[in-house]
């Protein structure tokens, strides 16, 4: 909600400035519309304005329409990669790599499937070449719909491929999916435990309240099944000692 209001207000400010400048302000109309659309996305519209497809490509009309916001986002990403000295990825469990959007030469050779949670970046052919590619476009700091999330987590948890799960920085959106996989595979009992496991390996991992609650809600059947199994195990009589 906060990001939605912030981007919407920023878009409106650009539009007001553009109106005051008259014809000279036409380029700012473009800027204002792109930020306003992102704000509306956070307020409920979702990432439809980016129209990212199953192949991870952004259509040309979306690239043109959203270029002011995309340019801003891409510059911020480059700056963080350049000056924030964090490893591109970490292996949070056997065969599960969690990381940022990586360059082709950074992807571990054993990775077989790329899982992309960004909506603001097109997929990289160099990264995807020779690998399976799955995407669930999600706005930064936000959450997807429960049904596609569960479908993706189920596919990843039941598969045997070595995974590279990423968003822009590998801290929030991708961590939410990775948490679901850890829970589905029985490696974590709930969202908090999954986050703790990931954070112990990749310190930058940080689910916000909305993401943490979403994982708990989306993975509720698996979390409850884990809890029942734990209770049953604890209820079993212990063998008598001599």
CA-CA distance, 115 to 165, in Å (whole number)?
5
In angstroms, how far is CA 112 from the centroid of its own chain?
Answer: 19
The pLDDT tens digits of the residues spanning 31-46 come to 999 999 999 999 999 9
Residue-wise DSSP of 77-117: HHHHHHHS---SEEEEETTEEEESS--GGGS-TT--EEEE-
Look at strands 113-116 and 89-93 and give their pairing.
Answer: unpaired
Look at strands 89-93 and 96-99 and give their pairing.
Answer: antiparallel
The pLDDT tens digits of the residues spanning 226-238 come to 888 888 877 777 6
The pLDDT tens digits of the residues spanning 179-206 come to 999 999 999 999 999 999 999 999 999 9
Question: How much is the pLDDT for 221?
Answer: 94
The domains of the chain, with CATH numbers, are 2-79 (no CATH), 87-229 (3.90.190.10)
First to last CA, the chain: 62
């Amino acid at each position: 909600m906060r990001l939605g209001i912030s981007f919407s207000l920023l878009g409106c400010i650009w539009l007001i400035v553009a109106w005051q400048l008259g014809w000279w302000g036409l380029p700012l109309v473009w800027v204002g519309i792109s930020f306003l659309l992102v704000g509306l996305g956070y307020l409920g519209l979702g990432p439809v304005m980016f129209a990212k497809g199953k192949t991870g490509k952004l259509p040309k009309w979306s690239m043109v329409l959203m270029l002011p916001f995309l340019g801003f986002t891409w510059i911020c990403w480059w700056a963080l990669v350049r000056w924030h000295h964090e490893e591109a990825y970490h292996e949070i469990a056997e065969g599960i790599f969690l990381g940022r959007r990586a360059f082709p030469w950074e992807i571990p050779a054993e990775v077989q499937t790329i899982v992309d949670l960004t909506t603001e970046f097109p997929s990289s052919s160099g990264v995807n070449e020779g690998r399976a590619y799955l995407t669930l476009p999600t706005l930064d700091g936000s959450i997807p719909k429960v049904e596609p999330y569960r479908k993706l987590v189920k596919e990843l948890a039941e598969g045997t491929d070595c995974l590279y799960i990423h968003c822009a920085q590998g801290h929030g959106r991708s961590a939410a999916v990775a948490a679901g996989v850890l829970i589905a595979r029985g490696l974590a009992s709930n969202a908090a435990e999954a986050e703790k496991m990931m954070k112990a390996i990749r310190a930058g991992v940080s689910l916000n309240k909305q993401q943490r609650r979403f994982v708990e809600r989306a993975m509720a059947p698996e979390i409850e099944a884990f809890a029942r199994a734990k209770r049953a195990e604890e209820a079993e009589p212990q063998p008598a000692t001599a």
